[in-house]
Structure 1
Amino acid sequence: MSNLLFTDPRLQEEIKNNTRTKLISKDTTFLLPGDHIVFIPIVLKGVLRIVREDEEGREVFLYHLYPSETCAMAINCCQAGKKSMVKAIAEDDTELLLVPVKMIEDWFKYPEWRMFINNTYSTRFEELIRVIDLVSFSNLDQQILHYLEKRCTAAGSSTLTITHQQIADELHTHREAVSRLLRTMEEKKMVRLGRNSIELLN
């Protein structure tokens, strides 16, 4: 991956000498709120789902990390010396490149690394603004559709194995409301509902 993402041979050598890889099985939680962050993860293969969790365990979906992407929230916590504020879950079997915290600043001497980190902040900020807009200004049916679209894209499939309660938990709402709207969406031929599965149509 480093050979594809970074072309500077000096940076490639730094990555080779200072990082390690880690395999995460599907549906495994890689990071929890309150964890001390000693590495930032760059996705090599697979997908990570990043969610925000409150003190009562309620979750809100934020964004996905795809290959060659990393988490701005993790970088920010590293640089500020704070504990993790998010949960990271593997959507699929996922391989991560783990970059030690101390290298984040050290590698800013490499223009490619500096651009990579700056682009990460820019991309994640735009995604968070979309999430805020969606939560603040959209109806729940639009939030559910957006959520399903993002999860299907991450899974590489139009069908998700997921319960209505899981959707409700991540959208911070009631299962009954989710179930009611999903049935309406099924009547409109937007989804097909199965036992613990949802197929996104069209």
Structure 2
Amino acid sequence: MNPSDAVRDATLVYRDHHFPQAGEASGVGALEDDIRHLGVNELIMYLQNRLSSIDSQIDGIIKKQQNMEAIRQKLNEINKEMARLSTEHNKTYTDNDFAKRINELIDQIEALDPNLAAQLRDGLSQYHHILAMPDDGKPVVAGKPGDNVYWGHEIAKSTDYINVIAKQLESSAQMDMIKLQSMSSARATAIQMSTNLLSAFTEGMKSTVGNIGR
């Protein structure tokens, strides 16, 4: 096999594979157009770029998973705070430490996902939820602004709301895990193809050198 044969054979193989990049639609057509006129060096560079893109996407998914795990922990802490409060519901809290603690946890979530933090603040501030506030800044509980009383049904509604958010995060994490497995498989395929290409090209070069002078 000579070098040109190696390039031809490798190109035929690559036409059947596509390594998606961020924001790029999957499909063989785009890849085929990309590599149709590539030489060995260009094809190797192309594969390196593809691998770099895949690695970036994998890193992004892993980072997102780590953030989501941290957020789930914060949501669990919010639920623990509400569970603690539920043992003392229908009591007055003049210093409102409970609402302060919940807001601190949401602030920590905001550092990881600002949109989700805004969603939490909005949801927990709705009527009959634990962070509802009137104009004077005191909690609205049981429909009575400013009485600083947390009622059991308000805690229950807020707990249900947090649990819905947690389930949504879990579903998103499962989808990301599927993407991660797919990208990892694509990365392994790209590495194997790169290895095969270099091996074929090396063998072709050896064959060419061996035929010189015959």
Instruction: Report 1 or 2 for greater relative contact order, CA contacts < 8 Å, sequence distance ≥ 6.
Output: 2
Bigger radius of gyration:
2
TM-score by length of 2: 0.25
Structure in which a larger fraction of residues adopt strand: 1
TM-score by length of 1: 0.26
Structure in which a larger fraction of residues adopt helix: 2
